[in-house]
Amino acid sequence: MEKGSHSSSTTLARTKSDQLVETLAAAFKSARQSDQQTPPGTSESGGTLSRKSSKRVMMGASPRRSSGENNNTYIRKSRSAQMKLDLEELSSGAALSRASSASLGLSFSFTGFTVPPDEIADSKPFSDDDIPEDVEARTCKMKFQTEPTLPIYLKFTDVTYKVIIKGMTSCEERDILNGITGAVNPGEVLALMGPSGSGKTTLLNLLGGRLIQSTGGGSITYNDQPYSKFLKSRIGFVTQDDVLFPHLTVKETLMYAARLRLPKVLTRQQKEKRAVDVIYELGLERCQDTMIGGSFVRGVSGGERKRVCIGNEIIINPSLLFLDEPTSGLDSTTALRTIQTLQDIAEVGKTVITTIHQPSSRLFHKFDKLILLGKEFLLDLANGNLTDISVPSELEDKVQMENSETETGNGKPPPAVVHEYLVEAYESRVADTEKKKLMAPLPLDDELKSKVSSSKRQWGASWWQQYCILFCRGIKERKHDYFSWLRITQVLSTAIILGLLWWQSDSKTIRGRQDQAGLLFFIAVFWGFFPVFTAIFTFPQERAMLGKERAADMYRLSAYFLARTTSDLPLDLILPVLFLLVVYFMAELRLSASHFFLSMLTVFLCIVAAQGLGLAIGATLMDLKRATTLASVTVMTFMLAGGYFVKKVPVFISWIRYMSFNYHTYKLLLKVQYQDIMPTVNGIKTDSGLKEVGALVAMIFGYRFLAYLSLRKMQLHCEA
């Protein structure tokens, strides 16, 4: 504000960020008395502030002529401006509540305010709504569908959360959250703001039911009811990382989400129409046929990817929408559009909670409520950063009166004194009022409250429908990897080299049969090694996606597991056919249809059994480095015990060869080639081979059952 000769009779109508600073200044009486008298027309104290719950009001100043100047200017106050507000003005609607985080032990939440109509009458609005429509950024108002939704009032009181850090010799408890209190209603956007490590994501996960308060405390209620499994179908949760399948297009991604998550009562056509509507609501029509993309796949932009993640959640018409850092990595224009989208979502009756790190003033204006965590923004005062901000005169007087020696070298009070002062100010001036507001009854009847407390899950599709949808999605996603030129070249080049080395081998001589036995053993090893190291990556790579979709109850774990393992089979069995077509005829193995197809069936059994081992190792360890190390040792052991290098294995370790799929595959291939020619080959009897087939089938189901149990245990551990 200008003083002295620059004083003018200017009416200022405040934006939310201005009101935040004014409220804080009022609570702590931080404004100092001006040396000069302000003219009567100047609205320096801000007038009466009234609260508005769900819609933002961003007003500016109407230009008036100063007595000493002829120019008209729009005035927008700086957030750091010191305002003269009396303590009594808090009763006019200023809502200031206290919470705390581990990094400081104190944070504040603010709510929006409106300017009385009589003060707005002569003022001209000056806000983000005055900005011309940006066609590229789509800052224009988007029309969201207004289907009926269950209103959910979220309240949380004295929320605490601790983690246990285990060291070599001791365990340490560390507070992540301590005494967080607040509330958010339908139609409002609540922002959780703070620096990295302040507990924003932890608080968001607690409110969204993603963390169980086993090491925490406090109360979190939804329509005055505790969290239940029913809420999973009413909550949309957008994680900070964009967890999407890179090879699916935008339209395919939303189509599959709609078919899995929307209620059973809707037909497939209705679900797909809803997905198309969301595409147009979010402005994704231009890129709907473009792949999402990833680290090695070119796809949509970062802002479009973030909107796809939001679309995945709003497609179910959620009552509660949680977002973790939705503007991270986005430019200012795209970030503004994303937050504008959240405001549009809230205005149709949904409750929106988002974390944000460091918003611009334009983004800041979009929020209805704010909770500050840790050392950030207005809390520089509480954290000891006193070099470039003004200290409340009341605090300076208090410190000087108590002990002048506690001041720091620059004449400012130390952080501990400031912290104590802020806590005392909150407890004595605001705490009682805010607690009474939280205790106020909700405008809901008992029926709406009882719906939230239902423990019954709501699946969007039957088990068979889930399996079919996930099967089709799996094939579409992974066909690009399986049929990449790198993999095809690897398999075909190996087949050609083998065909040249064993070119027209002779099976009539002993030496020729020994050479062919070496070729058959290599085939057993190659198609045992290759699928294991492909399947190892399956569950560790999809762990984030599995956790995200299972947390939203998109499908049953059994449907996912069966679809995931069976959708690989059609893709995994194409390259072996090409491989055998090259090797079999170049090496001149038994040239008959029965022998060729039996050899191919044997290789198929080996591939599926080896896949099961890879799936079991990956699902059990869920760590690529450890899984790769264990798989390398296991495959090498199975290869050495496969019956080609060592004919006579000591009894105490001979059991290993019966667990080796290489051993059973090698024996089957020999029996297929020489069953009706000679009784034994390299010490192996050429019988029917039913024992080997039974062993491979047992491995196929046994390894997969072990993988399923590991995934189930992981899910139970996450939910416990």
**Cα distance between residue 112 and residue 391, in whole Å:** 25
Residue 399 — pLDDT band, cuts 50, 70, 90? low
Q: How does strand 351-356 pair with strand 320-323?
A: parallel
Side-chain-side CA neighbours of residue 673 (13 Å)? 31
What's the whole-number mean pLDDT along residues 675-703? 84
**What is the number of other CB atoms lying within 10 angstroms of the CB of residue 90?**
18
Q: Does 171 score more than 90 pLDDT? A: no
pLDDT tens track for 468-492: 999 999 999 988 887 888 889 999 9
* Cα Rg of the chain (Å, integer): 34
Q: Which two tokens stand for residue 591?
A: 């040239």
With bands split at pLDDT 50, 70 and 90, how would you rate the model's confidence at 100? Answer: very low
Phi, psi of 235 (to 5 degrees): -115, 130
Structural tokens at position 458? 């709501």
Beta bridge partners, 685, equal 680
539-598 confidence digits (pLDDT tens): 998 888 998 998 888 999 999 999 999 998 888 888 999 999 999 999 988 888 999 999
What is the separation of C-alpha 600 from the centre of its chain, rounded to a whole number of angstroms?
43
What pLDDT, on the 0 to 100 scale, is given for residue 69? 42
pLDDT tens column, 102-131:
434 444 444 443 334 444 344 344 444 444
Q: What angle do CA 397, 401, 404 make, to 5 degrees?
A: 95
Segments in 165-224 forming alpha helices (H): 200-207
- Most confident range (mean pLDDT) of 11-20, 338-347, 469-478, 684-693 is 469-478
Phi/psi of residue 331, each to 5°? -75, 170
Residue-level pLDDT at 704: 95
Task: Tell me: pLDDT of 183 over 50.
Answer: yes
Q: Residue 297 above 60 pLDDT?
A: yes
Q: Is 384 left (phi over 0), alpha (psi -120 to 50) or beta?
A: left
